[in-house]
Structure 1
């Protein structure tokens, strides 16, 4: 199946082309502004399905809106008619098609031309009126507030919000692409106007607060709630705008003669993760907790975790090794220790069910 994608180097086009390449079921014809009119015509004639994503949204004058939006759509339709083709076409339009401005009118003109083509030729036509699309590869400081916020906050540049309380309707690029591909493959897909099946309502102020929290997480180690779909998608989007020389960041290592202890990440509701490194022969722990619970996972080295229930003299031992990954749960009410019995540093991944609170440490010293 031959698929034509116009605007293939644009934000949506690039993401769609990569998804189609990943699926490996299609021969993809890519057309962008660098291609000639002849290449466009040949692509239209050869295609079994057309994704018409190309358009103009930042012209030198209003006339370019109509040339690049309405005019290009009419040109594609004209080629199909001249060659007696009834190829299905899907176009991405904009919610601004409802507005009385040059851009909106040019997008509405493209919609009307496509709908007329569907009636005249009995071809399947699909129109996605997209709201604010966000995600990786979107151009910042252009026509996407989310892209601009992510880029500017990641690079330390200023941002400006005229009204933090203004509510936005966002659609994520992966959801858009999934919908486009599904529509193409669904023989019973609804014709005409279609909406993306997942939308997110969020204010400009909330968007900026979240993105700032992503940047701050390198210092405070707090990871936001990834159970929230909009938070997860905005976080992924933010990371895609990190400067290439800023992918990594240091952690504070608490080092002494016994080894080191380093906090890696924290969450408001899922506790925190740390890395403990013990030198050979070193014992750490010898304390117990009332409510706090931990999980130990030795990933390198060899040792033993020892437990003793308060009020009992019985000592329980659990051998641990990086050669056999095994999680050890630390029950409350048991004093416990971990000993490096090997000849090299022992590295332990530790999870605790709460972020450390110095006012309520819930850590009572008692030798095993």
Structure 2
């Protein structure tokens, strides 16, 4: 199957092309602003399906709406009809088509061109009136508030909020692309005249901004906001995609002494925290117990022994661990415990605790194993 994709350099098309390639669609005919009329004509003659994703969102003058959204659509449809190509066409319109503005009116006229093609040719036409789309590769400061906020916040730039309570309806790019591929295979979800993205989320502008600022702060305070729902995971992925290429990493604060060092890695109000330590040969860490706090230890380098003793008796339990055989050791409450480096190299250990350390209520009591 040969698939023609217009607007190939755009946000939605880039994601669609990437996924089509992943799914084995290799014969893609991509069209962008630099595609010649001759090449476009050749593509039309060859194609078996059209994703018409090109459009104008932010022109210098309103005439460009007509040229980019209406006239270009007419050009594609005229070519299809000239060569009797009654192939399916999927078109990305906008919820703005319902509104009385220059952009919305141009999208509505383009919709009419597509619908008329479907009626005259009998070919399937799939028109999606997309809400605000977001995800990786969207251009910031253009047509996506999520892209703009993500880019600016990730790069320490200010954002402008005119109305914190303004309600947005957002569609994530992966959900959009999944729906498009369903339509490619004749399984799109049609409601009335139009096809729909079934998964969208409503959120206020203020809530969106706060969420993104929390993600930004997590690189400093190490506290990750909840990612329990898919929308939050989608927004977090989008935020990370706008980090400057020289700013992917950040350093942890090491607490260093003659034993080695310890650093907190990540914290979560729901899942506790993870930290990492390096202990020199012969060094012992721990010798304390907890009433309720529980932990997990995982040695990733070196050799060591983790010792336990129920504080109510004298019996010592030992687990010999090493980095070559990953073994997670649970630390139950009521057991004083310690980990000692028994090898000849530094001992690197990952620790998980079920709660973020609270200096005012540490639930940690010194006692030798």
Taking structure 1 as the reference length, the TM-score comes to 0.98
Q: Which residue of 2 aligns with 1:56?
A: 56
Matched, 1:22 2:31: no
Matched, 1:345 2:346: yes
CA gap of 1:289–1:238, structure 2 versus 1, over 3 A, is: same
> Partners in 1 of 2:163 and 2:43 — Cα distance?
44
Q: Which residue of 2 aligns with 1:335?
A: 336
Q: Which residue of 1 aligns with 2:295?
A: 294
CA-to-partner distance for each residue in 1:162-183, whole Å, 9 max, x for gaps?
A: 0011110000111111111111
CA-to-partner distance for each residue in 1:205-252, whole Å, 9 max, x for gaps?
A: 011111111111111101111112221111111111111111111110
Q: Which residue of 1 aligns with 2:9?
A: 9
> Partners in 1 of 2:286 and 2:166 — Cα distance?
51
Equivalent residues in 2 for 1:234-313, closer than 5 Å: 234-313=235-314
RMSD value, Cα:
1.1
When structure 1 is superposed on structure 2, of 72-81 and 126-135 the one drifting more is: 72-81
CA-to-partner distance for each residue in 1:13-36, whole Å, 9 max, x for gaps?
A: 111111111112341000000111
CA gap of 1:72–1:331, structure 2 versus 1, over 3 A, is: same
CA-to-partner distance for each residue in 1:72-95, whole Å, 9 max, x for gaps?
A: 111111111111111000000000
SS at match of 1:287: strand
CA apart distance, 1:188: 7.2
SS at match of 2:103: helix
SS at match of 1:158: coil
> Partners in 2 of 1:271 and 1:188 — Cα distance?
42
When structure 1 is superposed on structure 2, of 2-11 and 228-237 the one drifting more is: 228-237
CA apart distance, 1:186: 2.5
Q: Which residue of 2 aligns with 1:155?
A: 155
Q: Which residue of 1 aligns with 2:214?
A: 213
Consecutive unaligned residues of structure 1, counting only runs of 5 or more, are none
CA-to-partner distance for each residue in 1:37-87, whole Å, 9 max, x for gaps?
A: 221121122111000000111222222111111111111111111111110
> Partners in 2 of 1:150 and 1:25 — Cα distance?
31
> Partners in 2 of 1:59 and 1:309 — Cα distance?
72
Q: Which residue of 1 aligns with 2:133?
A: 133
CA-to-partner distance for each residue in 1:250-279, whole Å, 9 max, x for gaps?
A: 110000111111000000110000001111
CA gap of 1:188–1:328, structure 2 versus 1, over 3 A, is: closer
> Partners in 1 of 2:309 and 2:188 — Cα distance?
66
Q: Which residue of 2 aligns with 1:44?
A: 44
- The structure 1 segments of at least 4 consecutive aligned residues displaced by more than 2 Å after TM superposition are 186-192
SS at match of 2:238: helix
SS at match of 2:245: coil
CA apart distance, 1:142: 1.1
> Partners in 2 of 1:278 and 1:231 — Cα distance?
37
> Partners in 2 of 1:196 and 1:256 — Cα distance?
56
When structure 1 is superposed on structure 2, of 61-70 and 287-296 the one drifting more is: 61-70
SS at match of 1:273: strand
> Partners in 2 of 1:172 and 1:225 — Cα distance?
18
| Count of aligned pairs between the two proteins | 368
CA apart distance, 1:187: 5.3
> Partners in 1 of 2:266 and 2:283 — Cα distance?
25
Q: Which residue of 2 aligns with 1:119?
A: 119
When structure 1 is superposed on structure 2, of 39-48 and 2-11 the one drifting more is: 39-48
Taking structure 2 as the reference length, the TM-score comes to 0.98
Equivalent residues in 2 for 1:83-98, closer than 5 Å: 83-98=83-98
